[in-house]
Structures are given as C-alpha cells and as structure tokens.
Structure 1
Amino acid sequence: MSNELKNGHVPAPSTNFLRGIIEADLAAGTYAGRTDSQGQALPPMVTRFPPEPNGYLHIGHAKAICLNFGLARDYGGRCHLRFDDTNPEKEDQEFVDTIIDSVKWLGFDWQQDGKPHLYYASNYFDTMYAGAQALIRSGLAYVDEQSADEMRATRGTLTEPGTDSPWRNRTAEESLRLFEEMRDGKHADGSLILRAKIDMASPNMNLRDPAIYRIRHATHHNTGDKWCVYPMYAFAHPIEDALENISHSICTLEFEDQRPFYDWVLARLSDEGLFKKPLPHQYEFARLNLTYIITSKRKLKQLVDEKIVDGWDDPRMPTIVGLRRRGYTPEAIRLMCDRTGASKNNSWIDYSILEGALRDDLDPKAPRAVAVLRPLKLIIDNFPENHSVECSAPVYPPAHPLHDSEHRRFPISKNLWIEQEDFMEVPTKGYFRLFPGNKVRLRYGYVVECTGCDKDANGNVIAVHCNYFEDSKSGTPGSANYKVKGNLHWVSADHALHTEVRLYDRLFTDAHPDAGGKDFKLALNPNSREVIEACLEPTLNAAKPGEIYQFERHGYFVVDHIDAASDKPVFNRAVTLKDSWVAK
C-alpha cells in the first residue's frame, strides 16, 4: 500500500500541483481578457464540477467538488455546476436534485454576479450535433455499420494496430445522410454509429477512431424524446468545456489517456470556427482512494438494491447523504480534502484520516452531554429517598467562547446508571473505577465509596451499591479534600432519557474490499450497526434533528430523527473519541 496515511495522525497540509499551474497561467495572462458569448468579461480562470446524474455523490466526488470550487474561490475565478447528462438510460431527475443539494451542503454555490452558473450537457445537444456534422464534412468522421463486437475485434491491442473499418472511407455526403437518418429515428439502436477518423495505428487506443455518437431510443430526463442520438462522453466533454469558457478542466487520472482526444476535438472544431482560442486545457489528479469503502456506483447500488444497507443515505454508506446522516459536517469533509491535497500519484488514504478530520472539527465546538450506553444500576444507599440535588456542567468545551457562560443542569439522585465496565468485583491491576472498598468521583457530582453488589441467579451483577460523602460535591469547597483516581460518568435513573442509539461502524472489515476482483460482500462487517437503548442526561430531551453532541467518553453523536411514537430523539454515532478501530 503506497503512500498511505494511517492511524489518525494529522498530516501536514498537502501540496496541490494544480495551484502552481493556475498561478503560472494567471501570471502569464493565459486566459485574461476573455469575454463570453454576450460580450461579458470572464474571470481569469473558470473551472467546473461535471457529475453524471446517474447516482448519489460519494466521498470521492467531494474531493473533486472541493478542488474545483475551492480553486475558483481562491483565485478569483468561477466554478460551474454542470450535469453531464448524455446517457438517457441511466440518468434521472432524482439524482440531479440530490447532487444540487449535496454540493450546497458542502458549502459551495455556482452563483456569480447574480447569475446561477448551472448547466446541462443536454442543453448543448444542438451544438454537439452541429460539431459532429462539421467533422463529417471535413472528412474527420464517418458512420460505421460494424457491430460492437466487430469494432472491438478490429480495434487492435496495445502491441498491435487496429484494422480500418470497411466503412471508413465512405463519402462525407453518405455519412451526413446516414447521420441525419440516425437523428430522425430511422435506424435501430446499435445498427449505426458515428466515429471520429483519426488513426487506427495510434499507440493510444483512445485515438483509434473513437465512437462519438450512438443511437439510443430512450426518453431523456431533460430533453424528453427530442433526440434518439446521443454523444459519447469523451466527445461531449471538451465541447461543453469550450462552450462554458472553462480554462482549467480538472479530471481524475483515469481520463489522462483521453486527453489527446479531448485536445483533438477542440483543435478540429476550433479550425471549423466553432470555438475561439485560448481553448480549455485538461489536467488530471489522483482520485481519492479511501480504505474500508467502495465507490463504484454499480456496487453501491447493489448494496441498496439487495437491502444490505437501508438506502443511499444509510449512515454506513460513503455517499454524501450517508455521511451527512452519520453526523459528518461539511467542514470536516473539506478539511480532509484539504489535508490530502492533490497530486498525480495514486495512493491510499486510511479511513482514520476522515474520522480524524471530523474529530478535529467537532472537538472545539460540539456541545457536551453524558450518555450511558451499557447501563448498570448504581444505588447510593445513604442518599435520601425521593430526593435529588442539581448538578451543573459546561455546555461547551474550554476552547469555545461560551464555555464559561452556558451551563447545563441535571439532577443526581439515589438511583443512577453507570457503564457496566465501570464496576469489577475483583479488579485487575491498574483498575481505578468501582470495586468494593474503592472511592471514585461521580463526574460533576459526589465522591462515593463502593460497598458491594447484587447478583442474579446466574451470578451476573445487576446492581452496585455505594455510599456518598455529602461534603464532596464538585464545585464546593469540600470537594478539594478528596483525592481519587477514578472519575465516572453517570445519569440519574429517575430522570434519564431512555432512547434509541445506533452505534455505526465501518461497513467493511477489509481495507480494500473490492480490490483485485474480490467479492466485496465477503468483507461486510457484521457489526457495522448495533441498535441499543441508552440512558442519556435529561437535557437531551430537547435535542433536534441534525444537532451533534459529544457524549463525554463515548464520541460524537447526531440526532437522526425524532421518533414518532415516543417523541424522543434517536441518535447515530458519527465517530468515537479516539481511533481504536479493529474489526470485530
């Protein structure tokens, strides 16, 4: 595993080679003085985020979003949101809507000078069709009648050149006629295809007469049934960039081999007078490879369709909507993207880097609360019956500006809940919590001394007994007289909020669940979700959906929703306080 960031260590800010390229272009004035089709001055650099609306965005897309929008923001440019919707069979308005929502949630928008720079590739279909006609007239494209299998067989290999199609030298007039017939719906899907005429012996397979238009009798989410021919992505992409005056077209490394064709399309159509110079330039960066997840849309869809997860927004999914529901913040995701930088080298980023970014974002600002996840009854035998004393604790951590001014208040009473692991009848070496004869402080409350425990018929501890020292309450002068090593969290049993808490963990136990053709489902983590009833401090009764708290000692939790039957908040664990993950 090369260049892997591990163990939650905070890496130094990574380099971003794209900044050097942009700064050099700005210094040279490469894209200065440009105007759009209405004669309006263009920014010195323009980027775009061009998702295909055929699924939900995932954490890998977040990296591209942060790069494109972030670079445009930092250099006084503009970033467009563009839907590359050239495949009507896989695209849907549902995906358009969720993409828009996810980009906004991450903190970016496409407004500039009062104009929304939101675009659809499908709005350019007329221009793309005209561009294809221009290539045909110039002898640079032709209609092929070979089947997909025949084209594949004649394409050649990495060491052998391809073979010319028998239709490669048909006249421009005949190709134009057939292309119009394709547009008019006179031919079946797959019966004809338009190919660029470049070089069947090129060492770059992408230049061996690539397909640029195919027949698809399918209703498009944006254009309806107007078209039954659709451009291939590799042909559409450079045209979209040129029409939108993109300066820096930033893609992931898998498109590097496509760049010669990108440049070929732009150069030829510029020669035809469709575009003016300077033309867009494509740059590639290494995609975000995060361990313990999969990002294949097909495989993610399989998880949803087979009900392995509870939908695209399941908190275990690497989708933006899933991470959001899990309790991840836009700031944390942007921080992770910034820390991992942009390079030309593929590397794996350990999942702990993402978790660490969330901890670093939430630690100084998340309100605190106490939760007991595995309750065990603690009875203070000498505490008055039917009596309670108010305890107080800061709402926010010390770094927060409201730390000293805002406090939460909750009662302590005779019957409490503590964590099961906070009592041992026979303690191990170095154990400083409750055991017979030991004193501990109940955090924000009193010092108590353990006197024993109750057991059921099977010998299981069902209650712990202790006595408290009335002059030991935290915040009072007498508390300084007590020196104890243990400091336990607790919740009053008479006042606790009993509610559902979901303990989410990584969906896979294998760092690379689908690498090398592995069946990713064999690596599913059977403990990726545990649903428990926890006992929470009563102040959390008022918690609202989307609010994130640090449950002291346990981690960060977000309110998923308010249960309709009980009117109680239901919590999802976003991340533990420390990175101690192991597959269970």
Structure 2
Amino acid sequence: EGKAYIDEQSSEEIAKQKGTPTQPGVESPYRNRPIEESLELFKKMNSGEIEEGAMVLRAKIDMANPNMHFRDPIIYRVVKHPHHRTGTTWKAYPMYDFAHGQSDFFEGVTHSLCTLEFVVHRPLYDLFIDWLKEGKDLNDNRPRQTEFNKLNLSYTLMSKRNLLTLVKEGLVNGWDDPRMPTICGFRRRGYSPESIHKFIDKIGYTTYDALNDIALLESSLRDDLNSRAIRVSAVINPVKLIITNYPEGQVEELEAINNPEDTEAGSHLIEFSRELWIEREDFMEDAPKKYFRMTPGQEVRLKNAYIVKCTGCKKDENGVITEVYCEYDANTRSGMPDANRKVKGTLHWVSCNHCMQAEVRLYDRLWKVENPRDELAAIREAKNCDALEAMKEIINPDSLKVLSNCYIEKFAATLPPLSYLQFQRIGYFNIDKESTPEKLVFNRTVGLKDTWGKLNK
C-alpha cells in the first residue's frame, strides 16, 4: 500500500534526519524506493540474508509532523538471536509501537493500560490500528490506550533494571529479599495481599507522576495486620527477671488471647514460672519520673499474669545488668481479688524454661534518601559513575539487623511459615520460609508505630 519502505541508513543517520520538535525532519533517500524492491528486501531481512543493523523497515507517515513519533518510525529490524518460542524461524521483528496496536487488534484487547510515558505514543497506536482494521468499523470494540501514573514509593527503587543490579551484585539476598519491592519480597516480609489493596484504594489512579509516601503503605499494613495477626510473646533483647518470692519449680499455664480484634481467633496457653526473660529496655535502675516500666520500688503488670514490684538487680564486673529481681502479688492474677489494681505499666515476657530460642531479622528501608530514583540519577551525572557505585552511596547500611539471641513462646513453633504475627509491644512479624522447628526465623514486617519519620528528622 506504499505505507512503508526499507531504509539502509545507520541508526545515527536516521536519528539526525528526525529533526527537532520545532524543526521538521529530512526525508530518507530511500523513502520513495519502489514498493516491490522494499518487499524483496524485507523478505531478505526475515530470511537471514541481511545482517543486524544493515537495514530497517520504516513506516511512511510524515517527516514534518509535530509529533516526533510520526516521523517515519522504525517498525521492523533484524534480530538474529533465537526466539524463546519460535527459535530461528524469523529474523525480522517488530518494534513495540507497531506490535502494540497490532497485538491488541488481533487479540481482541479493548483496553490497553499504559504508564504516562506512553501518552505521546497513543496517536501512533491509533494510526496503526486504522491501517490494520481493513475497513472494519470497530465501534465500541476498538482497542484504546489509557494512561495512568506509575506506582512510585518513597525510599524505594521500583525500576527492574536497578533491582536486577541489586540482586546481581549481592546488595540484597535475591528477588524475594524482604527489602525488595517485589511480590515475592512483600510476601516473605509479611505483607498481606489485602494490605496492598487497601493502599492502592487510598492513593487511587491518576495521571500525575507522584511520589507516594511509603508510610501510607505501612499504615495500611498495620490496619490490616491488626485484625489478622496472632499475638505472641517474644523477647528480642533479653535480660533475666527472677521473681524471688515465687515458688521454685512451680509452673502455671495462663491463657493468652490470639487476637483481641477477632473474637473467633481463640486463645492459647503460655507457661509462667519463677525465671522469665524480659526486654532489657524494660528495666532502668535509675529511671526518670515518667518511666512506667520496671525500676526499683515500682509496680508493673506482667501481661496475662501477675503484678510484680521490682526490688533490684545484679551486675557483672563491667556494670552490665545480668539479672533483675522482683516480688509478685499472688492475689493479682486474672479473676483474683486484686487483679484490677491499677498500675501504669504492662510488660511482656516468656518463661526461661518454656520458650524457644529464635533468630529475628529486623528489616528497615533499603535506601537512606526519600527519592532514591532522582538521587541515583543526580549522583551518576555528577560523578559520571555507574549505577552500582551510585547505589552504594545511598543504600541504608542498617536495612537489616540480625538478632540471634531472642526468645519466643513455644506456641509460635506450631504455626506454619508466612503466618502473620504480632510480637506484643514490639511490632508485626512473619515466620520466614527458612524457619524450621529446630531453628525459628522471624522477619519484622513493620513496627507498631511509624518511628522512621521521628528518627530521621
């Protein structure tokens, strides 16, 4: 139909002839070659007689069109690399702009959803469909391209090219590393599908290229996990608490609610004994006035158990606290006379002889800067360096901390991998795929509160 021609110029020559947005392009010397000659050369391109880069097929449109994409775009080029399905049957392959409209038309696609950079390609998409529809009136079934914003997150790189560099160079531990913005990475970290859906519903779909705050995603995650996560007791920075007036050798089974937000979630039992593990941060020998945790002379409640009063502590030769001491009130267990006595602090704990050691991986944001995409580009331009070198400047060295001396109640070992958990008073966690009954491994999904903003102001 005279709508295409074979061009034997180099890619550099073709680019120079394209002109500028304000200046028309220059026609190729091959633009008006005979149709039969172009057809014959195109067959040679496809048979393998023509080398890669020696010639291309260009659409014959308008070299003066204000839309640069209309200035005789390349629609086929020679590719001799074997195709993953058809092998070496074909040597001439279409460019995206030409294949896009073709595929949609032939396959009956009516809504082609693209990101914003394809807005300027839409007129070409429509033109090629007009060329292909063979006189048919497509009416409401005509393929149409609609553009929307990309999902950009703060403190996150979404580009597959950059993610590939992270994986290949070992800056992360594979595509499912819980710090990666991949579906498998989100799943392994403990994100629920519903939390991601909630986040998308909040931000909506726009034609504005926004940088969405990852704190909004984390907020959606907390909202969702609050209603589904099983509450368990875990201590990640332990110090021993000894209840000096509790009978030695005595063990009680106490009821722990699985999820106070879900009445159908049930409960489980947790053992209580004379020696417990508590968080080191929950004791202070010389505490400020509004410190409502454990300090000498002050009462706190041990969750699901008794009210205790701190009596002191023991230190090693370096002044490090090794043991904390307290006394319990036997009448303050749930259902007993003094159970409702008011105290300002409640601490979580696990029984030393009835818990399991675990590895806890504290994941945080992978990048130190809010907009790593733009920062990466700026560093590469300023220093004329590659992506890897630029990445090393802005990657967060504290994005993963591994704690191996942690303790968790035995109930957690009975739960399947990827279970959603809340470590009480600490945050939301996920059972890692590498976890075994012999070595429990937990990933921090997100904290109970957003502390990143406060720490990085």
Q: Which category of TM-score, normalised to the shorter sequence, fits these structures?
A: over 0.9
Change (3 A) 1:468 1:264: same
Aligned partner letter, 1:402: E
Equivalent position of 1:214 in the other structure: 77
Equivalent position of 1:232 in the other structure: 95
Equivalent residues of 2:228, 2:420 under 8 A apart: no
CA deviations over 1:490-535 (Å, ceiling 9, x no partner): 1111111111111111100101012051334321111101111221
CA distance in 2, matches of 1:497, 1:228: 61
TM-score normalised by length of structure 1: 0.73
Task: Determine if the alignment matches structure 1 residue 465 to structure 2 residue 325.
Answer: yes
Equivalent position of 1:446 in the other structure: 306
Change (3 A) 1:370 1:462: same
Equivalent position of 1:248 in the other structure: 111
CA distance in 1, matches of 2:269, 2:445: 25
Equivalent position of 2:445 in the other structure: 574
1:368 deviates by: 1.1
1:140 deviates by: 1.0
- Please give the residue correspondences for 1:291-330 in structure 2 after superposition, counting only pairs within 5 Å: 291-330=154-193
Equivalent position of 2:418 in the other structure: 546
Change (3 A) 1:401 1:450: closer
CA distance in 1, matches of 2:34, 2:177: 55
1:276 deviates by: 4.4
Equivalent residues of 1:549, 1:556 under 8 A apart: yes
Equivalent residues of 1:561, 1:569 under 8 A apart: no
Aligned partner letter, 2:264: L
* Aligned counterpart for 2:222 among listed residues 352, 359, 363: 359
Aligned partner letter, 1:550: Q
CA distance in 1, matches of 2:357, 2:201: 39
Task: Determine if the alignment matches structure 1 residue 474 to structure 2 residue 337.
Answer: no
Change (3 A) 1:227 1:567: farther
Aligned partner letter, 1:555: G
Task: Determine if the alignment matches structure 1 residue 500 to structure 2 residue 345.
Answer: no
- Please give the residue correspondences for 1:16-415 in structure 2 after superposition, counting only pairs within 5 Å: 138-270=1-133, 272-273=134-135, 276-277=138-139, 278-398=141-261, 400-403=262-265, 406-415=266-275
Comparing 459-468 with 223-232, which one deviates more in the overlay? Answer: 223-232
CA distance in 2, matches of 1:430, 1:418: 20
Equivalent position of 1:491 in the other structure: 350
1:229 deviates by: 1.6
Equivalent position of 2:402 in the other structure: 531
Equivalent residues of 1:502, 1:530 under 8 A apart: yes
CA distance in 2, matches of 1:159, 1:173: 34
Q: Secondary structure at the match of 1:223?
A: coil
1:289 deviates by: 1.6
Task: Determine if the alignment matches structure 1 residue 435 to structure 2 residue 305.
Answer: no
Equivalent residues of 1:239, 1:266 under 8 A apart: yes
TM-score normalised by length of structure 2: 0.93
Equivalent residues of 1:367, 1:548 under 8 A apart: yes
Change (3 A) 1:391 1:296: same
Equivalent position of 2:381 in the other structure: none
Q: Secondary structure at the match of 1:574?
A: strand
1:196 deviates by: 0.8
- Please give the residue correspondences for 1:5-24 in structure 2 after superposition, counting only pairs within 5 Å: none
RMSD of equivalent CA atoms: 1.6
Aligned partner letter, 1:246: V
CA deviations over 1:70-105 (Å, ceiling 9, x no partner): xxxxxxxxxxxxxxxxxxxxxxxxxxxxxxxxxxxx
CA distance in 2, matches of 1:465, 1:474: 22
Equivalent residues of 1:514, 1:520 under 8 A apart: no
Equivalent residues of 1:375, 1:420 under 8 A apart: yes
1:246 deviates by: 2.1
Change (3 A) 1:443 1:175: same
Q: Secondary structure at the match of 1:194?
A: strand
CA distance in 2, matches of 1:346, 1:190: 35
Equivalent position of 2:277 in the other structure: 417
CA distance in 2, matches of 1:274, 1:535: 70
Stretches of structure 1 lacking an aligned partner (at least 5 in a row): 1-137
CA distance in 1, matches of 2:203, 2:396: 26
CA deviations over 1:342-387 (Å, ceiling 9, x no partner): 1122222100111111111111122111111111111111111122
Q: Secondary structure at the match of 1:470?
A: coil
Equivalent residues of 2:188, 2:433 under 8 A apart: no
1:166 deviates by: 1.3
CA deviations over 1:23-69 (Å, ceiling 9, x no partner): xxxxxxxxxxxxxxxxxxxxxxxxxxxxxxxxxxxxxxxxxxxxxxx
CA distance in 1, matches of 2:395, 2:272: 42
CA distance in 2, matches of 1:573, 1:283: 38
CA deviations over 1:286-320 (Å, ceiling 9, x no partner): 11121111111111110011000011111100111
Change (3 A) 1:475 1:205: farther
Q: Secondary structure at the match of 1:497?
A: strand
Q: Secondary structure at the match of 2:331?
A: helix
Q: Secondary structure at the match of 2:402?
A: strand
Aligned partner letter, 1:200: M
Structure with max Cα Rg: 2
CA distance in 1, matches of 2:288, 2:9: 76
Equivalent residues of 1:332, 1:361 under 8 A apart: yes
Identity of aligned residues (%): 48
CA distance in 2, matches of 1:141, 1:475: 87
Equivalent position of 2:429 in the other structure: 557
Comparing 471-480 with 453-462, which one deviates more in the overlay? Answer: 471-480
1:418 deviates by: 0.6
Q: Secondary structure at the match of 2:173?
A: coil
1:429 deviates by: 2.6
1:273 deviates by: 4.7
CA distance in 1, matches of 2:278, 2:335: 21
CA distance in 2, matches of 1:438, 1:379: 15
Stretches of structure 2 lacking an aligned partner (at least 5 in a row): 379-389
CA distance in 1, matches of 2:419, 2:310: 36
